[in-house]
Amino acid sequence: MRLPDGLVAVVKRECPTCVLVEPVLRELGAEVWCQDDAGWFEHDDTELELSYRLGIETVPTLLRIQDGEETARVVGWSREQWEALTGVPSLGADLPEHRPGCGSLSVDPFRIDALEARYGGSGLGSRRVELADLEDEHEAMFDRGWTDGLPVVPPTLERVLRMLRGTTRAPGDVVAVVPPDLVECTVEKVAVNAVMAGCLPEHLPVVLAALEAACTEEFALHGLLATTYFSGPMIVVNGPIARRIGMNSGVNALGQGNRANATIGRALQLVVRNVGGGRPGGIDRATLGNPGKLTSCFAEREEGSPFAPLAADRGVPGDAVTLFAGSGVQPVVDQLSRTPESLARSFAACLRVNGHPKLPLSFDAVLVVSPEHGRVFREAGWDRARLVAEIEGLLTLDADELVRGAGGITEGVPEALAGRKLPKFRPGGLLVVHAGGDAGLFSAVVGGWVSGTTGSSPVTREVRA
């Protein structure tokens, strides 16, 4: 939209300052555009296109245009500034020296998304899908296979643009190559699925970091999808961002009810489904699966923890996500132990059955220590390394008890390993996290998938704005 050279003003009739300066604008012969009354001045900006394109934040705004370009701007009414811009002395002699303006309709929070979609030239590359007039948008998304079995939020252009404001990254930046179809996934595509999942814009950086972690070679997302095992990605969030975006690390941290927890994990799963092609019954061949494959995400409770933040212990301090191939939650009940040695033995006994009590070195695990249990370790001065070392010592197992047929159980390790000592977990295969409500002497074990080079390893990545 090219404006003629000279003076241009943007006003709205409901603004007292705009009404105040009407005689001055008419005296100056300015080209005046009105946002809310097409008949007040000669130019109609009720569609707000001019205001949007000029970046008008306050009315009245007076501009000088030369060779089609803006060369000067004054906001509100100031006799001194208007005289300097126009070169006309004694403007509005009967008016006050100064009056502030009003907010422009083009920055109204209830309009800005629609204006950006209409005039912003978004440059987004996603294909638009037009629905028939009688087609229910929610049923249409079910029918097209875009959902995880629950309704999703329609990803309109306005909603996607709003979501993209949650990151400084460009919409076209490639975040990761998503298996199983090995499709390049852009920030824009992640934003589309984050909208569908119900995320807020401030959640988007966490979703982006989770996707980066999930698509690393060591996490082995393709194998995790294709396995008949139970597991799916579980996200643990560390750092100040967890509090800023309202994540739950306390009561019911592994359960329902918190928007950030629920939608961040869901967004990752929807990206894997809709971009990467990882759909149940297709490449996803889980025999039973687990509810965490819908969403599994929580924040570590760093306050009051006996341990350093998990991500920091893994070399990434501050805002970060750790991805783990979680297979479901196994309760740990110990309401009597008051020493770290006794409680560590309870944890070890429950961890021994991870996957199968006769299968060492096969499956990783996350031990989620609740605050009441954590207090036992904090008061004794045990950190994460001390607890893990104690558990690993307790879970150094006699292979004679693990070989096939021992205990009348055919499952187990080969006979050739008889006579040896075998650790339950590979080095680094047991993670310890602090989370949960203040009341309850309960902790939890989240089992993993096949560990190490033949399966998935936990991955930690920084959350970037």
Q: What is the pTM of this model?
A: 0.89
Task: Judge whether 423 and 454 are in contact, CB under 8 Å.
Answer: no
Q: Assess whether 397 and 330 both reside in one domain.
A: yes
Q: Do 316 and 448 have their domain in common?
A: yes
Q: Are 18 and 101 in contact (CB under 8 A)?
A: yes
If you count them, how many residues does the chain have? 465
* Model confidence band, residue 122 (pLDDT cutoffs 50, 70, 90): low
Q: What percentage of the chain carries pLDDT values higher than 90? A: 94
Per-residue pLDDT at 46: 97
Tell me, yes or no, whether 315 and 400 share the same domain: yes
Domain boundary among 108, 125, 151: 108
Residues 214, 311 within the same domain: yes
How far apart (Å, rounded) are the C-alpha atoms in residues 47 and 35?
A: 7
Identify the bridge partners of residue 236 per DSSP, sorted by sequence position: 298, 322
Distance CA 345, CA 43 (A): 80
The answer to whether 93 touches 21, Cβ cutoff 8 Å, is: no
Contacts of 212 (CB under 8 A, 6+ apart): 175, 176, 461
DSSP-derived 3-state class of residue 224: helix
Dihedral (Cα; 322, 323, 328, 331), 10-degree rounding: -10
In the predicted model, what is the mean pLDDT of the chain? 96
126 lies in some domain: no
pLDDT of 391 reads 98
117 domain residue, yes or no: no
Give yes or no: residues 101 and 165 share one domain: no
Contact status, residue 275 vs residue 193, Cβ threshold 8 Å: yes
Domain boundary among 108, 127, 150: 108
Phi, psi at 232, each rounded to 5°: -150, 170
Total domains present in the chain: 2
451 pLDDT higher than 90: no
Residue 394 has pLDDT above 70, yes or no: yes
Q: Which residues contact residue 167 at a Cβ distance below 8 angstroms, ignoring those fewer than 6 apart?
A: 187, 204, 205, 208, 465
Output phi, psi for 262, to 5 deg. -70, -45
Separation of first and last alpha carbons in the chain:
33
Q: Is there a domain that residue 137 lies in? A: no
Could you tell me if 456 and 350 lie in one domain? yes
The model's confidence at residue 352, banded by pLDDT at 50, 70 and 90, is very high
| Per-residue model confidence as pLDDT tens digits over 3-62 | 889 999 999 999 999 999 999 999 999 999 999 999 999 999 999 999 999 999 999 999
Half-sphere exposure of residue 452, counting CA atoms within 13 Å on the CB side? 8
Quote helix, strand, coil % in the chain, to nearest 5. 35, 20, 45
For residue 408, tell me if it sits in a domain.
yes
- Summarize pLDDT for 229-288 with one digit per residue, the tens: 999 999 999 999 999 999 999 999 999 999 999 999 999 999 999 999 999 989 999 999
**In the predicted model, is pLDDT for residue 452 greater than 90?**
no
| Confidence check: pLDDT of 121 > 70 | no
- Is residue 313 assigned to a domain? yes
Q: What is the pLDDT of residues 304-317, one digit of tens each?
A: 999 999 999 999 99
Pairing mode, strands 43-44 and 31-34: parallel
CATH number at residue 104: 3.40.30.10
Mark whether 98 and 192 lie in a shared domain: no
- 66, 93, 108 — which closes off a domain? 108
Is 148 in the same domain as 216? yes
Same domain, 224 and 92: no
Residue 219 maps to a domain? yes
Integer Cα distance of 349 and 193 in angstroms: 41
> 3-class SS at 162?
helix
* Residues near 201 by beta carbon (within 8 Å), at least 6 away in sequence: 162, 163, 164, 165, 166
Q: What is the extent of the structural domain holding 23? A: 6-108
Residue 114 lies in a domain: no
Radius of gyration of the chain (CA): 30
What percentage of the chain carries pLDDT values higher than 70? 100
| 377 residue type, one letter | F
Mean pLDDT of 72-100: 96
Query: What whole-number distance in Å separates Cα of residue 316 and Cα of residue 119?
Result: 41
**Same-domain status, 201 and 91:** no
